[in-house]
Every structure is written in structure tokens, then in C-alpha cells.
A = this chain, B = another copy of it.
Amino acid sequence: MDATPVPETTATPDTECHTTHGYISDKARYLARLKRIEGQARGIHRMVDEEQYCIDILTQISALTSALRNVGLGLLDDHLKHCVVDAAQLGGEDAEAKIKEASDAIARLVRS
């Protein structure tokens, strides 16, 4: 059974994007990058399984962390360009909630 954790959602229904999400236009590219990231994770698992040298495993962990972070920055940029701009143009509470949500996501990314 796939032990993939079911991601809890932090967004409240009304803050979800009313239009399609920013990243959709680049979906294929994100999927390819995430497939590579999954492969890198599997590669690190195999390095530990084969008892490879610690430093080489750490090198791969840093590379994977950077790849992940770059996907995060891309998604964030798309989110600002689409969901945040759309909400800002609607104004009011929707815009405020959207900005707070984006700021919290940025803080998590910076601190992770």
C-alpha cells in the first residue's frame, strides 16, 4: 500500500483560487521535475541501503533539497502572478486572506 501521507490542506475553501491555479499552464514541467525529485529520493534510499559513503549521501540530500526549493519558488511565483493578483483586484477580505496565506507559505519556505 502506498504510504504517501494524505496532505492536509491549510487553505480555507473561500481562499482557494476562484480561477485555475497559476501553475497549471506549466503543469507538465512541474510533473517532470517532481518525478525526478521522487527518483532522487529513491536514489538516496538506495545509497543508504547499499551503505554508501556518508558524504556522498549528504551531497545528494543537498542537491535534492535545492531542487525541491526551486520547485517551491516556482509555484510561489505562479501563485503570486495569478491567485494573488486576481484576489487583489477583487479587493476586500478575499485579498487580505490571500496575502496572509501567501506570506505564511513564504515564511514556511524560508524556515524549512
**Contact surface of A with B, Cβ cutoff 8 Å:** 2-11, 15-17, 20-24, 27, 30-31, 34-49, 51-66, 68-69, 71-73, 75-81, 83-85, 88-89, 91, 95-96, 99, 101-103, 105-112
Chain B residue nearest to A59 in the complex (CB): B10
Interface centre among A23, A65, A89 (most CB of B within 10 A): A65
Majority SS of interface residues in chain A? Answer: helix
27 contacts between A and B (CB under 8 A): A3-B39, A4-B46, A5-B43, A7-B47, A10-B55, A11-B55, A22-B54, A23-B54, A31-B49, A34-B41, A34-B44, A37-B44, A38-B41, A54-B78, A54-B79, A54-B83, A55-B79, A55-B102, A57-B75, A61-B71, A62-B111, A62-B112, A65-B72, A69-B112, A77-B106, A109-B110, A110-B110
- Distance in Å from the Cβ of A73 to the closest Cβ of chain B? 5
Besides the contacts A34-B45, A62-B112, what 7 more A-B pairs have beta carbons closer than 8 Å? A2-B42, A3-B36, A10-B56, A11-B55, A37-B45, A62-B109, A80-B103
